[in-house]
Amino acid sequence: MSNMNQSEIENAARTMIERRGQAVMEKTRQEILNTAYDNGAIALALKHYAKVNLPLVSPLSPALMSISYEAAKGNQDIDEIESVAVAMTLIAFSADIHDDTIDQSDVKYTKKTIYGKFGTDVALLAGDALLIQGHALLYRACESFSPKQRQALSTLIPKALFELSASEMLEIKLRKKTIIKPDEYFEIMRLKGVFVEMQCRIGGIIGQADDETLEALASFGRTVGMLGVIKDEFCDMLDISELEHRIKFECPPLPMVYAVQDKKVKIAIKELVEQPNYSKIIAKKIAKLVLESEGVCRLKHKLSEQINQELKNCILTQKNRAGYDAYLLLNVFSFDT
C-alpha cells in the first residue's frame, strides 16, 4: 500500500466497499420496493428514496459489518450476517431521512430528499416506517442466534441508537449558540461515529469474537465513523449550496468552527456572509479562508495523529483480507497539511 498514491487508495477502497456491501444495499432496496406501506404518500416517498436517493449512498456500513464478521469468524462466508445487515441498513436509512428533516435538507447529492419532495409530515412517517421495518426484520434474523448473541445485540443496538439521537440533540442545541467551542463540536463528530462502531460490533458478535477482538472492532468502527463524518464536514466547505444551507439553517461545518477561533478570520468571514448578494464567488472565498486557516491546520494535524494511532493499535491490520481491508479504509482518510 505504501506504493499507492492517495487516488489509488481511494479507488481500491471504493471497489472493496462495493464488493462487500453492494449486494446488501440491493437487497435493502428490493425490501423497500416490495413492501406495501400504505398505497399512498408514504409508499410513494419510499419508492422515491429507493429509486433516487439510495443508489447514491455508499454501502460502507454493510461492508464494515462484513469486515468485522470475517475478522472474528476467520472465513468469508457472510450469509449468516446478510439479513441482519439488511435490517441495520433499513434502520440507517430511517435515521438518514429523519436527519434530512431536522436539517431541512431539500437536496442531497444533487437529488431531492423525501423532505424536499414530500414535506415534513411524510418524511417523518416514512422514516418511522423504515425504522419499524428494520426492527421487525432484525427480530426475525436474530431467531437463529444463540441466547448470548441475542442478548448482546438487544443491549447494543438501542444503546447505540440512543447515543446517535443524543448527538443530534447536542447539535441542535449548538445551533442556538453564537459561539461554538471546537472541542464541543468535535465531540459531536465522535459521538456520531457510534453507528459505524455498532455495525462493527454486530459483525463481531455474530462472528463470535473474543473480548479483545470485539473491542478492537469497536475502536476501529468508532474511528472510521468519526472520520467519515468529519470528511463530510470538509466536503460541505467545498459544496457551495450545502455551505450556504449550513450557514443559514445548521451549525457551520467543523472546519469553519476551528477557523473562526482566529479573530481576523472570523471578521473576514462575517463580512462575506453578511453581504446582501450571496454568490458562489463569496462562498468560494469563505471556503478558501477557512481551509487555509491556522485553526484548520491544527485540526488536520489532530486527525492525522488519531489515524496513525489507530493504525498502530488496530489488531485487525494483520496479514489477511479483513485486516488488509481495515487498513485500507483507515488510509482513505488523508488530512495531511
For 211-236, the pLDDT digits (tens) are 988 998 999 999 999 999 999 999 99
Per-residue pLDDT, 322: 86
Instruction: From residue 234, give the alpha-carbon distance in Å to each of 76, 246, 252, 271.
Output: 34, 12, 11, 22
Helix (H) or strand (E) segment spanning residue 85: helix 79-103
Q: For the chain, what is the mean pLDDT?
A: 90
**Bridge partners (DSSP) listed for residue 222:** none
Alpha-carbon span 204 to 216, nearest angstrom: 10
Statement: residue 319 has pLDDT above 60: no
Which residues are CB-neighbours of 234 under 8 A, at least 6 positions away?
253, 254, 255, 291
Name the more confident of 238 and 114. 114
pLDDT at residue 159, as a whole number:
93
Q: Is the pLDDT score of 27 beyond 70?
A: yes
pLDDT at residue number 209: 92
pLDDT at 318 over 70: no
Fold of 6-332: Farnesyl Diphosphate Synthase (1.10.600)
138-188, pLDDT tens digit by residue?
999 999 999 999 999 999 999 999 999 999 899 989 888 888 999 999 999
Q: Which of 136, 169, 142 is CA-nearest to residue 155?
A: 142
Rounded-to-integer distance, Cα 226 and Cα 221, Å: 8
State which amino acid sits at residue 9. I
In whole angstroms, give the CA distance from residue 244 to residue 156: 37
The domain segmentation of the chain, as residue ranges, is 6-332
Classify the C-alpha dihedral 27-95-195-244 as positive or negative. Answer: positive
For position 160, what pLDDT does the model report? 93
Torsion of CA 298, 301, 303, 307, to 10 degrees: -170
What is the per-residue pLDDT for 324? 86
Distance CA 57, CA 63 (A): 13
463481531: which residue's cell?
A: 204
pLDDT of residue 77: 67
- Best CA proximity match to 55, nearest among 25, 82, 15, 33: 25
Predicted local distance difference test score (pLDDT) of residue 1: 60
Tell me what pLDDT residue 316 has: 61
Residues pairing with 112 in the sheet: 107
- State the residue for C-alpha cell 465513523: 225
Q: Report pLDDT for 76.
A: 66
Note the pLDDT tens digit of each residue in 40-69.
999 999 999 999 999 999 999 999 999 999
How far apart are alpha carbons 221 and 175 in whole angstroms? 27
Cα R_g (the chain), whole angstroms? 20
Among 29, 155, 166, 149, which Cα is nearest to 95's? 166
- Work out the pLDDT band at 333, boundaries 50, 70, 90: confident
Give the model's confidence band at 196: pLDDT under 50 very low, under 70 low, under 90 confident, else very high.
Answer: very high
- For residue 241, what pLDDT is reported? 82
Answer whether residue 317 shows pLDDT above 60: no
As a whole number of angstroms, the distance between CA 250 and CA 102 comes to: 9
Which pLDDT band holds residue 137 (cuts at 50, 70, 90)? very high
Residue 142: predicted pLDDT? 93
Q: List pLDDT tens digits, range 72-129.
A: 987 766 788 999 999 999 999 999 999 999 989 999 888 999 999 999 999 999 999 9
pLDDT at res. 109? 83
Using the Cα atoms of residue 27, residue 28, residue 29 and residue 30 in order, give the sign of their dihedral: positive
Name every residue whose Cβ is closer than 8 Å to that of residue 252 and which is 6 or more positions away in sequence: 180, 246, 260
| Sole residue written with cell 444551507 | 245
Q: Tell me, what's the pLDDT at 131?
A: 96
Task: pLDDT band for 260, please (50, 70, 90 cuts).
Answer: very high
- pLDDT for the residue numbered 2: 62
The closest of 56, 84, 103, 80 to 248, measured between CA atoms, is 103
Q: Which of 174-188, 236-250, 286-300 has the lowest mean pLDDT?
A: 236-250
Provide, for the chain, the percentages of residues in helix, strand and coil under a 3-state DSSP scheme, each rounded to the nearest 5: 80, 0, 20
